[in-house]
Structure 1
Amino acid sequence: MTRSELFSQIQQKSSFLCVGLDPDINKIPTHLLKEEDPIFSFCQQIIEETADFAVAYKPNIAFFEALGAKGWETLAKVEELIPEDIFTIADAKRGDIGNTSKLYAKAFFETMNFDSITVAPYMGGDSVSPFLEFQDKWVILLALTSNAGSADFQLIPDANEKPLYQTVLEKSQKWGSPENLMYVVGATRGELIGEVRKAAPEHFFLVPGVGAQGGSLSEVAKYGMNSTCGLLVNSSRGIIYASAEKDFAKAARKEAQKLQIEMTGLLEKYL
């Protein structure tokens, strides 16, 4: 999917919502456990009820690969189920030497046809560049995450008092462009989102942390939105686990719609 196609979806739906698919076999409604493929049934119903409001879906690969070969089969079926006009993110956080990265890219971009993949930048440019060689595919690079341990490395200043995440932003923009490179920026970082936006004014950000993690959607838009929105705000648990009963998909729809309505107002305010 191209940048213009993604922005067109944002405009059509008045939404920049990404729904995270984190299907924990121990958390999905128990009545689904009778199904032949409970995880697929769960994701299928979530997608069917939220596709009106979502411009992206982000399957968390760990929840699928933990189930072994069956999990990979389920992941492929889930990816095929997502409508073609909705952006797909393989949340795999890969990062390895170049020839290994090339095969990771082939697996997620060709075998399963995801639009994008999350990538860790720690091993440098040659570990990221293989993902950037695929036309109309995206790298979503970890830049400033919202977990507690992110401060262990990401905020360490260099001799010029520049935090490490700023160096990642500067160097990585030489590897890719706003047409194929996004950044993960945690919603709970508040005004730091504005600092990332200054460093990467044209790039899209994937922003986790809104909802169950306590991030503020209005703060994210205030500091992070640009002229083409530039944001994909993810909510996982707050949507997919809105109910543990048979009405779970309807409850997910309500939560997705709440976020979409708020997003409509923010798009009107800032674009």
Structure 2
Amino acid sequence: MTFMQALKQRWSDADSLVCVGLDPEPAKFPAQFADDPEAVFHFCRDIVDATAEHACAFKPQIAHFAALGAEDALARLIAHIHATHPGIPVILDAKRGDIGSTAQHYASEAFDRYRADAVTANPYLGRDSMQPFLDRADRGVVILCRTSNPGASDLQDLLVTGGGIERPLERPLYQHVAETVARDWNGHGNCALVVGATWPEQLREVRAIVGDLPFLVPGVGAQGGDVEAVVKNAKTNDGTGLMVSSSRAVLYASAGGDFAEAAADVARKLRGQINRYR
């Protein structure tokens, strides 16, 4: 299946819009991993196995692995997800964006080296920087639109004139990004957008622009995004269209020996909370 087919199937099979983020920080691991040379892989694997039934996707963050020199653990983790939980797509959170051969290598890194089903990408270098990702019709390209961080407004809210000479339209840059992706870049139907949970009004605006294009929505849990506002403003007409991402709140729900069970409980409760508003 393509990324989009797998995601839609998972929304149905798991009755879940929860995306579990995998951001390993060994200082927060339970004490049982203190002397484990493969702690990063083992901790993340245990989280994956505990939360899989509640998840529509997993999202490992590449910097958390690379900073630890744990790229091999990342590759093994994605392979484990594919082998043990087939049908759950993996989004490599890399936020890549470059040009020419570098962009091609970034696409190969995500899809060939790590065998991720989708990758996050930064659109601000333009269409050619996205083309190597867009050309992989079976894989997903999850493009930054209106991010969840406080500094997002520094650039993403800047008013920009677009729409052509005959019908100029001034609106925030993130809305131009949303329209460009939906109208011009989604020829293979493999695009999604990152829109933060911390901006419910912007979620509503972007949904109105792009129709049923899926959203990856970070910012619930530790960043304080409101689940009800996210779902009511951003779901599609069939009650799907979302990958609501939670990382720290799931991963570090407990620092004890029950860490996996606690993570599963948080993911299960988040799924239930989301489903109440669908």
Please classify the TM superposition score into its range, dividing by the shorter chain length.
Answer: over 0.9
- Matches of 1:108 and 1:100, distance apart in 2: 13
Task: Measure how far apart 1:263 and its partner are.
Answer: 2.6
Q: Which residue is equivalent to 2:132? A: 130
For residue 266 of structure 2, the aligned residue among 251, 255, 258 is 255
Aligned partner of 2:165 in structure 1 is none
Q: Does 2:73 align with 1:74?
A: yes
| Separation of aligned partners in 2, 1:152 and 1:204 | 25
CA distance in 2, matches of 1:177, 1:214: 35
1:165 aligned onto 2:174: yes
Aligned length: 265
Is 1:16–1:231's contact at 8 Å kept on the other side of the alignment? yes
Give the letter for the 1:28 counterpart: F
Q: Which amino acid letter does the alignment assign opposite residue 149 of structure 1?
A: G
Q: CA 1:213–1:177 in 2, change beyond 3 Å: closer, same or farther?
A: farther
Alignment partner, residue 266 of structure 1? 277
| Equivalent-residue separation in structure 1 for 2:208 and 2:179 (angstroms) | 11
CA distance in 2, matches of 1:132, 1:40: 30
Aligned-CA RMSD value: 1.3
Secondary structure (helix, strand or coil) at the match of 2:27 reads coil
Corresponding residue of 1:103: 105
Does the 8 A contact of 2:21 with 2:246 survive in 1? yes
CA contact (8 A) 1:209 1:215 kept: yes
After superposing on structure 2, the runs of 4+ consecutive aligned residues of structure 1 that deviate more than 3 Å are none
Aligned ranges 1:239-250 → 2 under 5 Å: 239-250=250-261
The aligned residue for residue 26 of structure 1 is 27
CA contact (8 A) 1:2 1:179 kept: no
Name the CA shift for 1:31/1:2 in 2 (closer, same or farther; >3 Å).
closer
SS at match of 2:257: coil
Q: Distance in 2 between matches of 1:150 and 1:43?
A: 29
For 1:68-118, what per-residue CA distance to the aligned partner results, in whole angstroms no more than 9, with x for missing partners? 2xx110000110111221010100010001321111111111122101000
- Counterpart residue identity of residue 78, structure 2: E
CA distance in 1, matches of 2:219, 2:76: 27
Answer yes or no: is 1:184 the counterpart of 2:194: yes
C-alpha displacement at 1:179, in angstroms? 2.3
Q: TM-score, normalised by structure 2?
A: 0.92
Residue identity opposite 1:250 in structure 2: E
Cα separation, 1, equivalents of 2:26 and 2:80: 19
TM-fit CA distance, 1:2:
4.0
Distance 1:150 1:250 in 2: 35
Compute the displacement of 1:177 (Å): 4.3
Amino acid corresponding to residue 181 of structure 1 in structure 2:
C
- Write the mapping of 1:42-81 to structure 2, written as runs, cut at 5 A: 42-68=43-69, 71-81=70-80
1:161 CA displacement: 3.4
Structure 1 residue 227 displacement after superposition: 3.1
CA offsets 1:144-164 (integer angstroms, 9 cap, x no match): 011111111000112443101
Kept in 1: contact 2:30–2:256 (CA 8 A): yes
Q: Is the 8 A contact 1:154 1:164 kept in 2?
A: yes
Deviates more, 1:180-189 or 1:4-13: 4-13
**Counterpart amino acid of residue 211 in structure 2:** P
Distance 2:9 2:149 in 1: 31
Which structure 2 segments of 5+ residues have no match?
Answer: 162-168
Matches of 2:48 and 2:20, distance apart in 1: 9
Q: Answer with 246-255 or 168-177: which moved more.
A: 168-177
Distance in 2, matches of 1:2 and 1:95, equals 20
Contact 2:6/2:89, CA 8 A, preserved across alignment:
no
Equivalent residue number for residue 85 of structure 1: 87
The 8 Å contact of residues 137 and 188 in structure 2, kept in 1 or not, is answered as no
Report the alpha carbon displacement of residue 4 of structure 1 after superposing the two structures with TM: 3.3
